[in-house]
Structure 1
Amino acid sequence: MMNNREIYGSSGEKWAQFRPDCAGIDLYTLNLPAPWEYIYQNHDVLLKVDQFGPVYAQANPPGGIQLFRRENGQRFSSWAVWLQSDEMEDGKPFTNFFRPLIDGSNPSKEPQDLKVTFLPHCASYEYRVQNLLVQTEFFVPLHGTEIVMKLHLKNVREKAIDLSVCPTFVPYVNPAQLAPWDKYEWYLKSGVGKDDKELFWSQLLSSTSDPGERRTAVLWTDSENLTGLEISYEKFVGSGDLSCPQTVTDGAYRMKPELTASFGEYRDDNSIWGYPPVYAAKYGCRLESGGERVFTQVLCMPPNTANGGLPAIEDVKKPLVYFESSVYEQKKEEVQDSFKALCRKNKVRTGQEDWDYFINNWLPLQMEWVASLDRGWPTAMRGTRDCAQDYTAMLSIDTAIGRVRLLEMLSCQRSDGWFPRQFSTEGRTGRHDLRGHVDAGAFVIEFVYEYLSYSGDTGVLDVTLPWLDSDGESTVLEHLTRALDYYMVPENLGEHGLCKIGEGDWLDSVNRAGVLGRGESVMVSEQVVMCLQYLAEILESGDIRAEKAAVYREKAEELKKNLLEHAVNQDGFFNGIFTDEGKWIFSDKDPDGEKRPYGPANWFALISGVVPREKRDSVLRVMEMLKCEAGYRLYWPPMGASPINCVGRAASGDAPAGFAENGNVYNHGAQGFLTRALAAVGDGDALFDTLKWLLPYDQTRHPSSVTLSAPYAIVNCWQELPVFKFRSLFSFLTGSVGMAQRAVYEWMFGIRPALDGLVIDPCIPKWMNTANVEFTYLGRRVKMEIKNSGVRCCTPEKVELNGNVAVKTRKDPFHSRTVFVLEKELFQDGENTLRVIL
């Protein structure tokens, strides 16, 4: 069955159903083909969950401490509650997520009335077992590092039931990546005690004796009917393991609850260090017929004192408010209201109900996730180009956080203009990824141009910042000019006058094309053509360095000429990379004899305006060469069958065909960049179609029974592998989310802020006779209506703002169409009405 709101397995069983009014979904089975993940985050803490419960939590993502996590191959959660009653049929323990089961004879067994619900403000897991209703809720507030778990039990049996309720939490409380010789437990000093209620804590100590590296995690738990405790993981699991802990099965908890220790007090009877801890508790619970009981636990990481000491007790106790139901419900309402406001910032109405629903609800939510996840790697570094692209897309939602990231990146720039591949979340003095990739600067320059256009914050250009290799400070404008000049110095230009590739460009799997100093990148050269225009415009708009702006425009024309002269092959499309061996790859004839078109080099040729109008069709034929049943591939055919020298893992056989970038439908570069190129050439029909290939929800294009990922999850790519053809890779951990955000609002609906005003340049499908879009421009609300009675894609005939006909037009510097420009001062406070006639 195919239904975009109801998701079915290949055998017709109903897996899930989207909630109609928000970015929410109900799951009706645990037996999904893979984990379906969802994120809760507030920039102070991030919680990832799936149908089996919590996956991991990280304070201060993406570089902070992981509070807990599942290890590789561990399906069950490290934070769960074991339930057991001798009055039940087999008397065997089970968890509040029903799994893991002690009896593994039927791993597909499920409880009655199962429903797992992911809503933007909370996750809920509920089911019925022998007329005991079990419901668990996880919640992250708007601010702070608290994560709240509420377990709600209700007895709908005809008689009372006695239950053993055993919450279990395995703390990790360490950086995500440790040295190979380290163990997380070596740096933890853990204890259990009582201050108003029972609490567990773990103190992370510093392996380098740096007080600033110390952290403290605390878990508060209920006191009522507490009968046992355990702080040692090894004592807890006994002869079993976390999926079958002996302490749960035999009920013999080692420690009694009459502890007198306070927070921070370590004694022989309440603490452990050097060996792994566990936060395990046992409660006796009698529920009369119709009776209910709620158990609460709150995890948090309160701030240490200035010298790295344990947190002040008043900070430790702040999460106790979540034990009060009225406060808890109020905090949930705040988060719910916050997500409603997020989804109101930009809104579309096209008549395509499923598409509108996804764009209005799931896209902004995943933009929020990606910004905090940094493509999902819980490390202490952000990818420079990744960060620049993601936060460029975030500007239509939040310009303030864009300014923060902009200054962070520029502070980690080398004084010759080069940017690290990844920069430390700890700032310029942290540990960076200094591999010699060269593309980051181009993405940063575009990000700064977009930031200035969205925010109007020209004052940022005068902010002074240090360099990665120098404490001397220079203005943001100087940082930008050095970033651009880096590409123009003779030593960084190759024999064709194109930008050298160094250790790599956007395509990570080509990591050996220029390490000897000869290789050139067509895509980077095309990006630099754009950046030369961007920076020239910045210089001209401030009436500063006009002579340098003129030089940049001349350089752009020179680089265009070199690209057309040297990078276009006999088949009329652009080669991708010139290698150290002096050969073109991604060309009409690669060294292995294959014709291998590469999408991004051709899409950026169109995006940057390098391709003359009369030659666009030959470049666009690359689409036909790359089309397959799941969309548009990155390049085709895959590399590696016959190894090619001076390319890297893509062509050495070290990247299997059909995996990750190698010959796949790679959403970010294959389809995200393509939507931008199609907007440049004015093909709204193909743009909308490509965007639907990029997005995951359409079950006719990407059935969940094939992709195996959640139908809401924007993914990195659709792979072509044995057994799993077109299975997805990496939910949320992808630049595809930002590409989709920009594709909808900037490239399809043509809402493009520029330095001198708002450019109106829609490129919609011909069949879309009307569209309504709501957005915010410089703090002012705008309602835009596009009328398309002429069955056209682009080039408006008339634009009206608040009833006044717009008169300012200009030729776009990249695609050469005439666009309307609405000056900033034309927008009024409050609501503005914008009417566009195609």
Structure 2
Amino acid sequence: MFEHGVRAVDRALTAGAHGLPLIGSCDWNDGYNRVGPEGRGESVWVGWFLHAVLGALAPLCGERGDAPRAARYRAERERLGTMLEQAWDGEWYRRAYFDDGTPLGSSQNDEGKIDSIAQTWAVLSGAAPRKRSERAMSAVRTHLVRRGSGVILLLSPPFDHTVLDPGYIKGYIPGIRENGGQYTHAAAWVVLALARLGSGDEAVELFHMLNPINHSRTASEVEKYMTEPYAVAGDVYDHPAHRGRGGWTWYTGSAGWMYRVGLEGILGLQRRGACFTVDPCIPSSWPTYSIEWRFGTTPYTIVVENPERRCRGVASAELDGSPADPAAIPLSDDGRPHRVRVVLGAGRDVPSGSPRTPADQAGAHPSRAPEPSAHG
């Protein structure tokens, strides 16, 4: 698996005229299949994602005795961080560059001016400066979060009449699927990025907005949403004639991301090898919450107290009544019940000492995953 991973990463270590990875036939958004057909188009988003992946993979290379590869990955990560900042458009980050160097996801464009994943992954990668991360997410709030219709758009305005041809995305009706609708996979990253920045009140508000049950509370909402209230929809329409209607269900990876955003990004529970961390980002109005987690045959009860009504910051932690490091609470599958108490307050926002990206977390998870349930 490791060899497969590094081969994929090595193949991605390309650079175009702006020093960013080549987009090829597309990137995460396969509707952008005509941004770089001549082999010169570049993806800002792949740059952010690759920055996160390199940060997670370099230490693993070192642990496996491959010091030259680890050094190469660290150097490439540093170079990428510098080049990505040149994609700053003034109020948000650009999304890509066409073969001829024309920017996509820029205020210069008449359509597709802003794309959410170039902003969220600026935050999630940990590469963007704090002030620019906050400005980029402020632009997401302004241009992409539609509280009235309960959707978080992938991009805006949708492609329709522009002379630019980013790909088959332009074949969708404006406001449908990737073309300016909500693509829930990307919308979940908006919530996670807000949590990463410490905006617990807003993160949970938008998490509830994405929850399909909250689109089906009344007969009129059911009539509008038109899909199952118990399954995450991969997309939700924003076309005026179908605004708020759910799209495809049951097939989407956004369900897994919703689970991770809720459990890891908001409630703050993350397993890392033989330890776990509790670093929540919650609404300031929550006085307490608990998580019942079964690790193998062993039940863990995790109680988080918030006496100062904060969104984040861990003051102390205890395991079975003894002080514990909230960044490394030991795991033991001994079949006996364990109780963890975490108190929020003035302390480190991220107990591990540095932000952890989703790529870090994915690389650190052993094969046996937790099976938690949370109680407010």
State the TM-score, normalizing by the size of structure 1. 0.39
How far off is 1:716 after superposition? 1.4
1:720-799 pair list within 5 angstroms: 720-721=238-239, 723-755=241-273, 757-777=275-295, 780-799=298-317
Instruction: For 1:636, give the aligned amino acid.
Output: S
Partner of 1:775, secondary structure, is strand
- Aligned residue in 1 for 2:104: 585
Shift of 1:824: 4.2
SS in 1 for 2:126: coil
User: How big is the shift at 1:700?
Assistant: 6.0
> Aligned residue for 1:831?
337
Q: Distance in 2 between matches of 1:517 and 1:546?
A: 31
Determine the C-alpha separation between the residues in 2 that align with 1:558 and 1:656. Answer: 39
Give the drift of 1:777: 3.9
The answer as to whether partners of 1:750 and 1:760 remain within 8 angstroms in 2 is: yes
State yes or no: 1:687 paired with 2:215. Answer: no
Contact kept in structure 1, 2:317 and 2:343, CA below 8 Å: yes
- Contact 1:500 1:520 (C-alpha < 8 Å) held by counterparts: yes
Equivalent residues in 2 for 1:57-136 (5 A)? none
Contact 2:35 2:98 in 1 (8 A): yes
Equivalent AA in structure 2 for residue 580 of structure 1 = D
Question: 2-side partners of 1:682 and 1:722: how far apart?
Answer: 33
1:549 is aligned, of 48, 70, 84, to 70
Separation of aligned partners in 1, 2:24 and 2:297: 42
Q: Does structure 2 retain, via aligned residues, the 8 Å contact 1:498–1:521?
A: yes
Q: 1:696 aligns with which of 209, 212, 230?
A: 212
Residues 48-447 of structure 1: pairs in structure 2 closer than 5 A: none
Specify the SS of the correspondent of 2:247: strand
Question: What displacement does 1:703 show?
Answer: 1.6
- 1:413-492 alignment, distance < 5 Å: 476-488=1-13, 492=14
Aligned length: 339
State the match for 1:505 in structure 2: 27
Q: Deviations over 1:159-217 (max 9, x none)?
A: xxxxxxxxxxxxxxxxxxxxxxxxxxxxxxxxxxxxxxxxxxxxxxxxxxxxxxxxxxx
SS where residue 836 of structure 1 aligns? strand
Q: CA RMSD in A?
A: 2.1
Higher share in strand: 1
Structure 2 residue 82 is the aligned partner of structure 1 residue 575? no
**Is the 1:640–1:650 contact (alpha carbons within 8 Å) kept by the matching residues of 2?**
no
Q: Is the 8 A contact 1:667 1:717 kept in 2?
A: yes
| 1: CA distance, partners of 2:34 / 2:12 | 19
SS at match of 2:327: strand
What per-residue deviation string (whole Å, max 9, x for no partner) do you get for residues 329-371 of structure 1? Answer: xxxxxxxxxxxxxxxxxxxxxxxxxxxxxxxxxxxxxxxxxxx
Residue aligned with 2:75, SS: helix
- Out of 521, 526, 531, the position equivalent to 2:48 is 526
Answer whether contact 1:522 1:577 (CA < 8 A) is retained. yes
Say if 2:147 is the partner of 1:626: no
Q: Are residues 661 and 794 of structure 1, via their aligned partners in 2, closer, same or farther at CA, if it must alter by over 3 Å?
A: same
Q: Distance in 2 between matches of 1:762 and 1:621?
A: 22
Q: Is contact 1:694–1:736 with CA below 8 Å preserved after alignment? A: no
**What is aligned with 2:133?**
616
2:155 is the alignment partner of 1:635:
yes
SS in 2 for 1:743: helix
Q: Distance in 2 between matches of 1:511 and 1:705?
A: 35
| C-alpha distance 792-828 of structure 1, shift in aligned 2 (>3 A) | farther
Task: Give CA deviations for 1:357-412 in whole Å, capped at 9, x if unaligned.
Answer: xxxxxxxxxxxxxxxxxxxxxxxxxxxxxxxxxxxxxxxxxxxxxxxxxxxxxxxx
Stretches of structure 1 that go unaligned for 5 or more consecutive residues are 1-475, 808-818
User: 31, 37, 42: which is aligned to 1:515?
Assistant: 37
Once the two structures are TM-superposed, the CA of residue 495 in structure 1 deviates from its matched residue by 1.5
Deviations 1:264-293 (A, max 9, x none): xxxxxxxxxxxxxxxxxxxxxxxxxxxxxx
The corresponding residue for 1:598 is: 115
The equivalent of 1:672 in structure 2 is 188
Q: Structure 2: where are the runs of 5+ without partners?
A: 345-376
Between the two proteins, what is the percent identity of the paired residues?
28
Deviation of 1:478 after TM superposition, in Å, equals 2.0
Report the CA distance between 1:726 and its aligned residue. Answer: 1.7
Q: Is it true that 1:716 corresponds to 2:234 in the alignment?
A: yes
Q: Distance in 2 between matches of 1:547 and 1:823?
A: 33
CA contact (8 A) 1:748 1:763 kept: yes
Normalised to the residue count of structure 2, the TM-score between the two structures is: 0.84
Please report how far the alpha carbon of residue 660 of structure 1 lies from its aligned counterpart in structure 2 after TM superposition.
Answer: 1.3
Tell me by how many angstroms 1:721 deviates: 3.2
Q: Given the superposition, is the C-alpha separation of residues 497 and 644 from structure 1 closer, same or farther in structure 2, using an over 3 Å criterion?
A: same
The residue identity in structure 2 corresponding to 1:533 is: G
| 1:707 matched to 2:225 | yes
Helix, strand or coil: the match of 1:753?
A: strand
Q: Distance in 2 between matches of 1:804 and 1:554?
A: 42
Shift of 1:513: 0.7
Q: How many angstroms apart in 2 are the aligned matches of 1:527 and 1:578? A: 16
Aligned equivalents of 1:684 and 1:835: distance in 2?
Answer: 20
Q: Determine whether 1:662 maps to 2:179.
A: yes
What is the identity, as a one-letter code, of the residue corresponding to 1:561?
Answer: T
Q: Quote the offset at 1:710 in angstroms.
A: 2.4
C-alpha distance in 2 between matches for 1:595 and 1:736 = 22
Letter of the 1:633 partner, please give it: L
Partner amino acid for 1:632?
A: I
Q: What's the CA shift string for 1:646-667, capped at 9, x where partnerless? A: x11224xx22111211111221
Q: In structure 2, how many angstroms separate the alpha carbons of the residues matched to 1:576 and 1:594? A: 13
Match of 1:355 in 2: none
Question: Compared with structure 1, are the counterparts of its residues 657 and 619 closer, same or farther at alpha carbon in structure 2 (3 Å cutoff)?
Answer: same
Mapped contact 1:538–1:755 kept (Cα < 8 A) = no
Letter in 1 for 2:336: G
C-alpha deviation, 1:757, in angstroms: 2.6
Which residue in the other structure is 1:157 paired with? Answer: none
Contact 1:519 1:578 in 2 (8 A): yes
Conserved? CA contact 1:762–1:794, under 8 Å: yes
Q: Which residue of structure 2 aligns with residue 46 of structure 1?
A: none
Deviation string, structure 1 residues 52-75 (Cα, Å, up to 9, x no partner): xxxxxxxxxxxxxxxxxxxxxxxx
Label 1:495 to 1:755 Cα distance change in 2 as closer, same or farther (>3 A).
Answer: farther
**C-alpha separation in 2, matches of 1:508 and 1:831:** 47
Higher helix proportion (structure 1 or 2): 2
Could you say what secondary structure the match of 1:797 adopts? strand
Cα 1:716–1:832 shift into 2, 3 Å: same
Task: Give CA deviations for 1:712-736 in whole Å, capped at 9, x if unaligned.
Answer: 2311122123542221101222122
- Alpha-carbon deviation of 1:543? 5.2
Is 1:821–2:328 an aligned residue pair? yes
